[in-house]
Amino acid sequence: MQSTLSTVEIKPKSTHKYSIIWMHGLGADGHDFEGIAPELHLTAQDNIHFIFPNAPIQPVTINGGMEMRAWYDILERTLERKVDIQGIYNSASLITDIINQELAQGIPAKHILLAGFSQGGVIALHAGINFTYPLAGIVALSTYCPTVNELKQPSDKTPIFMAHGILDSVVDVESGKAVFNTLTELNHPIEWHDYLMEHSVCADEIKDIAQFINKVLVD
């Protein structure tokens, strides 16, 4: 396992007050969501340090062992039946290291938000919910969470935004909804959004993400 992750970053134009760490999906890289930052038109845009980590390069079983950027191995197309749990823990630990780097720069945990798409959403949920202190928020897009029943349940919980395409043929919408239902039962402050789209991101979703981030990234 890599000891550190390379990153794509957008530095704040003004005083660094907030940090957003955004994880890409399987086979992509940190540039995948770099272009979404200006589209969000966030209230605190100029004060945000955007960090887009590159997942480690590793063989992926369902792709014939081909090496690509992946947060963990995908062992079966059923997703939940046989899961690389250790890989999820390993990558979540690397994201925790990035959070700690931001804390060391004087950014409070409540000013740090995790976001992730697909595999990256799994890591955002796992790392964010398990973090020692509550964060500003977690944005989990077109994703699921095979470790949901292993997550710590702190009394002061991080707000979560989950969104999914109802036509998603890669990660079934019901897999995402099951995670939402579990976290709701555990009293996490969580909201659900779905859209008429496949395994992707749409304009209406970007507006809703921006609204959520504007709500949670406050002094």
Residue 143: CATH number of its domain: 3.40.50.1820
Contact assessment for residue 170 and residue 26, using Cβ atoms and an 8 Å cutoff: no
**Would you call 123 helix, strand, or coil by DSSP?**
helix
Look up residue 106 and give its two tokens.
């004087």
- Choice among 194, 199, 200, 208 that is catalytic: 199
Residue 28 covered by a domain: yes
- Choice among 19, 29, 111, 118 that is catalytic: 118
Contact assessment for residue 21 and residue 113, using Cβ atoms and an 8 Å cutoff: yes
194 carries an active-site annotation:
no
Alpha helices in 62-162 (DSSP H): 85-104, 119-130
Which residues span the domain enclosing 60? 7-216
Number of domains in the chain: 1
Compute the distance between CA of residue 76 and CA of residue 208 in angstroms, rounded to an integer: 32
Please report how the helices 119-130 and 85-104 are oriented relative to each other, as an axis angle in degrees rounded to 10.
60
pTM of the full structure: 0.95
Would you write out the chain's pLDDT as a tens digit for each of its 219 residues?
Answer: 556 899 999 999 999 999 999 999 999 999 999 999 999 999 999 999 999 999 999 999 988 999 999 999 988 877 666 789 999 999 999 999 999 999 999 999 999 999 999 999 999 999 999 999 999 999 999 999 999 998 988 778 999 999 999 999 999 999 999 999 999 999 999 999 999 999 999 999 999 999 999 999 988
Residue 67 covered by a domain: yes
For residue 64, which amino acid is it?
G
**What is the reported pLDDT for 154?**
79
- Choice among 91, 168, 175, 188 that is catalytic: 168
Matching residue, tokens 């099951």: 178
Compute the distance between CA of residue 17 and CA of residue 209 in angstroms, rounded to an integer: 19
For residue 24, which amino acid is it?
H
Bridge partners (DSSP) of residue 77 are none
Compute the distance between CA of residue 86 and CA of residue 92 in angstroms, rounded to an integer: 10
Residue 1 covered by a domain: no
**Would you call 202 helix, strand, or coil by DSSP?**
coil
Look up residue 204 and give its two tokens.
């209406």
Compute the distance between CA of residue 86 and CA of residue 89 in angstroms, rounded to an integer: 5
168 carries an active-site annotation:
yes
**What is the reported pLDDT for 4?**
86
Residue 169 covered by a domain: yes
199 carries an active-site annotation:
yes
